[in-house]
Structure 1
């Protein structure tokens, strides 16, 4: 199949990969690697293996993007189902390759050439797969897709109008309290209506993951989940200590910010339909729709650096962004990478709120990073592990501050405040999601009702300042069921919290010396996944977010700035 490396996304060729043919080529390359007489021959075989794996990944990602853009598209829905069934078998390829890497007589020379991270990751990865779990992996993929399709097809009626889970959001942020109550109630009514189905999907996923963990020799899914996240330099104990510090230092600040919000908007108590409404005259709102925001982003990235300006134009010219919310489109936002075309792709759901700017700049950070490290070898190094990857995206939100006046006009100051405030208030929620996952997978036998009760207890510790009792679904502890990561990416969510502490540091450094901060950021992007999380943090000149005292110090400085803006 011919690949045009400059093609626009609509012209990307999709063809279901012939996995039997790919596996034959892979096995031949692996045999050459194992028989390689010297490191150069081994490296050449590794490049061939990368090319085969990258081609399969390319076709999967083209399919996934087109499925996400329209979950009703019958062709790509069927193709996505096919990948869900077939891709787990390719885990055996990777496991065999990683075992060969670890056992290679040329390992020392290859480590000197590529660095140790490939081998550390390989040692961890082979503990996450055996052929016996292929059917369970297929079922796991199917469950995640079922949840995505269910949410993507949501139809929410409010006052005679129909919304999806993305387009309902602006209605939850209007100044009229009763109007936002109606919108928010309608959204959570949809979850209540589909609660049994959602809880059934999650229950199957939890039990599947626990079964796979036991098959692989783990007590439960927690350790397997960490290994699947490729966490080579920290474990659950470090994360628990991070959550402890959030409870100690961030939760009181979040409570004070919530009280300030309550007083600002003039309500007796913050109800579930008040949480997203931050200012009495309305939340900061972008000055225009997609075209206006793209023009403002182009101006921002032209001014930020030569490389970001050129890269943004590449995204535009090759149509590598789908930004607006529409019927049938999967909710949320992401960035992925189409290997053979050397093309990052940004997916989001603009809905006329400040989140449009957040997600555009956030996903641009991911895209800029993977494009900066696209030529690194092996292919594992194109992306860092998820925890480090979120540093690039969340820090880019802060580097984008010079563009805020063009994005928001007279609402710029409100945006600066709400962005910082939301970042602080996100940390308790993110940690609540993470602690919930640990509890769930430590006790996989819990019933759905017990999981909901567990969420209520955890939320009371991290978010005591919000009253969810006004809606039956939320009152029984169902809020977690709206969090996609719990279904498709277990143990991912804490990565946003770790990265947020790092992003705050980039913001503070940038205010003191932009040139130095930007140089550190670009160096981090170019390193891709060639190091583990903590070494990348050190490379970027950042403090370790796990260390006692770091969070407390940063929280104090952010609070000072919020007081100034307030």
Structure 2
């Protein structure tokens, strides 16, 4: 008899073999449910099984992200996408229906079960068998995008670099070097513009068909329900954009004018945005080929914030829990993935020796801490909070860590690094509003061909840009700038969450400055809840408000601006 992962799942289960998975689904579907306690045990057995399958899929996806140029890895990933996922999705839906139709769902009164039933009801309303092949096609198309971006290399100063590695040269004080690096990166992206448009056209078509099949007016409405956004509307997000335009854009214009004056240039160019405006050398917190130095420095930051966080951070190990350095064949970006069976986080990023890498490691470690604090929950389905709160976890770590950048720098450069981070927050909100506004347009307009899409992008981009910077050297890159935002391809409508969460994180930081121990205690208490309570309750537990109106935005941005001004 096989060793068991749990009382229900064999230890030697091979998730690449549907013939081994199907009988376990069938046993669960055939099991009689005669009481609420029966339902709870059934859910736990299903969660134990689903965690093994989930981890297998996550590992295939992580491998593909780390090695887009490895044919064997791609083959294993596509086998799961094409042969396993399409077969288990109908069985997963049958499991959802079994819970909803069992007659005891209303007797599951604990908050976590109430949340689960509510979310599964939303899923059940959207499910259609005919969407399964379309969803498979979407996954394959996003993998194609990842392969395309993973191949984007340039020759610069005698070396072949990824675009992430090239980005560090945008921080150089020599303006000619910055211009050359920016134009190299830009022109390399433009080489793939037509291919990117083709992929995106196909994604739009598939996603719109999925929404239509599910009875939704458009894909935006489909995503709203599939992401269980019960607590705010698309219109709320558009109002958020209006508030950003009113409150944030004047601040960003002031920052642009100040940068232009400090650089002493007649016209601000796109390659002038990352350089130190006072002509100081770029911040280089660690050597690009020594990412473990970054790991050690971030550990010191967490130790200064809270030794308990440092102990949690120490559980993360190379290879097992992270892949950090940028290299050819690795897709861009950064993420934290949860491995549900072993209950371990995995951090993926593209470190190239910049200060932004330090911020990214703090960010992804925040996601890891969130998962590690919630993994005590045995029921995988309620272990994860909504994205809007997950990003509070990550962004809070960036902010509460920003007073300890002396782990990497001397006093002056630590102040510079903090100032750069705060300025980045102010500049982030208009970009978030740009991406969210563009997505809202993309999925609510039928005339979504390249020309009207480009026109809409330009109008939205201009709305949330100042008139200080001049893009006339390569005007077409402004038109195609959206293609570099991988969320538009991989995770449609996953962007406004960053804005909502940033407001939450700023409140955490505000609380932390007044009572560090109390703020962290409340935050980690909310972490431990996972997804067992509604989103507003998670915010409340963390000691912050779930609100993204101008009434909340204005004072928080003023706080950031005051902190920034004090740094000089």
Whether the aligned pair in 1 keeps the contact of 2:321 and 2:347 (CA below 8 Å) is yes
Alignment of 1:137-536 (within 5 A): 137-279=135-277, 280-288=279-287, 289-316=290-317, 319-409=320-410, 410-465=412-467, 466-475=469-478, 477-536=479-538
Q: Indicate if the aligned counterparts of 1:30 and 1:49 stay in contact, CA closer than 8 A.
A: no
Asked whether the 8 Å contact 2:304–2:404 carries over to 1, the reply is no
CA distance in 2, matches of 1:36, 1:16: 27
1:23 corresponds to: 22
State the shift of 1:4 in Å: 10
Name the SS for the 1:131 alignment partner: coil
Identify which range, 233-242 or 274-283, moves more after superposition: 274-283
CA distance in 2, matches of 1:353, 1:435: 30
Whole-angstrom distance in 2 between the partners of 1:57 and 1:423: 34
SS of equivalent residue, structure 1 residue 72: coil
Question: What secondary structure is seen at the aligned counterpart in 2 of 1:62?
Answer: helix
Distance in 2 (alpha carbons) for counterparts of 1:137 and 1:64: 15
- Whether 1:42 and 2:39 are equivalent positions in the alignment is yes
Q: Is the 8 A contact 1:133 1:212 kept in 2?
A: yes
Deviations 1:231-283 (A, max 9, x none): 12222121111111111111111111122222222222221212222432134
Mark the CA change 1:183 to 1:549 in structure 2 (over 3 Å): closer, same or farther.
same
In 2, Cα distance between equivalents of 1:474 and 1:536:
40
Aligned to 1:9: none
Deviates more, 1:289-298 or 1:354-363: 289-298
Question: 2:318, 2:331 → 1: CA distance?
Answer: 24
Q: Give 1:307 shift.
A: 3.3
Q: How far, CA to CA, are the matches of 1:221 and 1:309 in structure 2?
A: 42
The 3-state SS of whatever aligns with 2:330 is coil
| Partner in structure 2 of residue 8 of structure 1 | none
CA contact (8 A) 1:121 1:232 kept: no
Query: SS of the counterpart of 1:315?
Result: coil
> Matched residues in 2 for 1:268 and 1:285: separation?
28
Question: Structure 1 residues 59-68 or 385-394, which shifts more?
Answer: 59-68
Q: Distance in 1 between matches of 2:334 and 2:154?
A: 20
Q: Aligned in 2, Cα 1:88/1:398: closer, same or farther, shift over 3 Å?
A: farther
1:337-390 CA-to-partner distances (Å, cap 9, x unmatched) read 111211101111111111110110000000010111012142122221211111
Distance 1:73 1:120 in 2: 41
**CA RMSD, aligned part only?**
2.1
1:274-326 deviation digits (Å, cap 9, x = unpaired): 22224321343315542322222222333433432222221127731111111
* TM-score in terms of structure 1 length: 0.94
Retained in 2: the 8 A contact 1:114–1:377? no
Aligned partners of 1:100 and 1:65: how far apart in 2? 32
Q: Secondary structure at the match of 2:285?
A: coil
Which has the higher mean CA deviation after the structures are superposed, 533-542 or 218-227? 533-542
1:525 Cα offset (Å): 1.0
Q: Conserved in 1, the CA contact under 8 Å of 2:363 and 2:395?
A: yes
8 Å Cα contact 2:111-2:532 kept in structure 1: no
Question: 1:537 corresponds to which residue?
Answer: 539
Partners in 1 of 2:488 and 2:505 — Cα distance? 23
* 1:171–1:16 Cα change, 3 Å: farther
Whole-angstrom distance in 1 between the partners of 2:181 and 2:319: 37
Is the partner of 2:409 in helix, strand or coil?
Answer: helix
Whether contact under 8 Å (2:536, 2:545) holds in the other structure is: no
Q: C-alpha distance in 1, partners of 2:418/2:68?
A: 35
Calculate the TM-score normalised by the size of structure 2: 0.93
Which stretch of the first structure deviates more once superposed, 299-308 or 480-489?
Answer: 299-308
> Which residue pairs with 1:81 in the alignment?
78
Partners in 2 of 1:63 and 1:294 — Cα distance?
25
2:99 and 2:549 mapped to 1: Cα distance?
Answer: 33
Q: Pick the aligned partner of 2:557 from 540, 555, 558.
A: 555
3-state DSSP of counterpart to 2:524: helix
**For 1:3 and 1:358, how far apart are their aligned partners in 2?**
41
Residues 93-128 of structure 1: per-residue CA shift (max 9 Å, x gap): 332222232333222332326342112211222233
Q: How many residues align?
A: 557
Counterpart of 1:125?
123
Structure 1: 5+ residue runs without aligned partners? 6-11
CA displacement 1:377-419 (0-9 Å, x = unmatched): 4212222121111110001111223431012334100011010
C-alpha change, 1:292 and 1:216, in structure 2 (3 Å) is same
SS at match of 2:336: strand
How far residue 13 of structure 1 moved from its aligned partner, in angstroms, is 10
CA distance in 2, matches of 1:217, 1:535: 31
Shift of 1:456: 0.9
1:269–1:315 Cα change, 3 Å: same
Unpaired runs of 5+ residues, structure 2, are none
Q: Quick one: distance in 2 between partners of 1:260 and 1:27?
A: 65
Confirm or deny: 8 A CA contact 1:373 1:381 kept in the other structure: no
Structure 1 ranges of 4+ moved more than 4 A? 1-5, 12-16
